Amino acid sequence: MRKVSEKVQLEAAEKLASSLNKMDGVESSVDVRTNGTQNRPIVNASVSPENWGKVAKQLKEKYLVDHCSMITGIHWPESSDKKWEVIYHFLRTGIRNPIIEDGLVIPNIVDFSKVKGKDVPLEIQISIKIGDTRTPSVPSVQNLWVGADWNEKETWDLVGIDFEGHEGMRRVLNPHESPVGFHPLQKQHKLRYHGFEEMYDDAQGFMRKPVDSSRVK
């Protein structure tokens, strides 16, 4: 067997979701998706901003979630139950203390039929909803997962959601001289096609227009 069975993964996902539901400010469930060859159970959890720091530490230390693969930030100005949202994408790879020889990581040879408990690989998706505020923020997890470092910078740069305690926060995609408070994926910035005729909004002050701005896109 070259992969952990769907049954074992589903059991592990349901166990983790059940444990998360016992934490303050957490609602969790299991969603089953498919990649075309195998169903993949994914633990989905909604965590309140004030409890996120404690939950993140438990995920890392108690449930051995070891990799932050992506962070998504969203501005929802027209939503009734949230105005901002941060979505963390995590993996529990089950790979710990790999052998390193001459600077190279030696692949672990695993009998996947015997993988169980906290060694079972899982995908975890955490949603943090933020209310109406001009200064949206959540606690940083940069100190827990190295993968969160760049992703938190990018989320702040593009969306303007801050990460409390993040060291070295800076622009990573927009120019460093971008105006303070300018985050292009906030919905009030219309940096998309306007009536299919304009690509950029000059009101942002960048005075950038493509040479074909007068053409219908």
Q: How many domains does the chain have?
A: 2
pLDDT tens for the chain, 217 residues: list them: 567 888 889 999 999 999 999 999 999 999 998 877 778 899 999 999 999 999 999 999 999 999 999 999 999 999 999 999 999 999 998 887 778 888 888 777 777 778 888 889 999 999 999 999 999 999 999 999 999 999 999 999 999 999 999 999 999 999 988 888 889 898 876 654 444 444 444 544 455 555 544 554 4
| Predicted local distance difference test score (pLDDT) of residue 198 | 44
> Would residue 194 count as lying in a domain?
yes
Say if residue 101 is in the same domain as residue 147. yes
Residue 140 lies inside a defined structural domain of this protein = yes
Q: In which domain, by residue range, is 86 found? A: 6-173
179 in a domain, yes or no? no
Element (H, E) at 12: helix 6-21
Same domain, 71 and 95: yes
pLDDT value of position 75:
94
165 and 193 share a domain?
no
* pLDDT for the residue 2: 67
Query: What percent of the chain is modeled with pLDDT above 70?
Result: 85
Instruction: Establish if 27 belongs to a structural domain.
Output: yes
Q: What is this structure's pTM?
A: 0.81
Helix/strand/coil for 186: coil
201 and 103 both lie in a single domain: no
Regarding whether 124 and 159 lie in a shared domain, the answer is yes
Stated as kind and residue range, the H or E segment containing 90 is strand 84-92
Angstrom distance (rounded) from CA 212 to CA 80: 39
Residue 169 sits in the same domain as residue 197? no
- On whether both 152 and 200 belong to a single domain, the answer is no
Is residue 97 domain-resident?
A: yes
d(CA 177, CA 71): 24
How far, in Å, CA of 151 to CA of 30, rounded? Answer: 25
Where on the phi/psi map is residue 48: left (φ > 0), alpha (ψ -120 to 50), or beta? Answer: beta
Indicate if the alpha-carbon torsion angle 85, 23, 166, 147 is positive or negative: negative
CA distance 123 to 132: 30
Residue 95 DSSP code: -
Residue 96 lies in a domain: yes
Q: Are residues 21 and 73 in the same domain?
A: yes
Query: Residue 21 falls within a domain, yes or no?
Result: yes
User: Does residue 196 share a domain with residue 148?
Assistant: no
Q: Are residues 109 and 193 in the same domain?
A: no
Residue 157: per-residue pLDDT? 95
Query: Burial of 76 by CB count in 10 Å (0-12 exposed, 13-18 middle, 19+ buried)?
Result: middle
For residue 54, the domain's CATH number is 3.30.460.80
Position 197 scores a pLDDT of 44
Per-residue pLDDT reduced to its tens digit, 61-92: 999 999 999 999 999 999 999 999 999 999 99
88: in domain? yes
What tens digit of pLDDT does each residue of 25-54 get? 999 999 998 877 778 899 999 999 999 999
Sign of the CA dihedral with 20 first, then 22, 27, and 28 last = positive
The answer to whether residues 217 and 116 belong to one domain is no
- Terminal Cα-to-Cα distance of the chain (whole angstroms): 51
* Predicted local confidence at residue 172, as pLDDT: 93
One domain for residues 63 and 123: yes
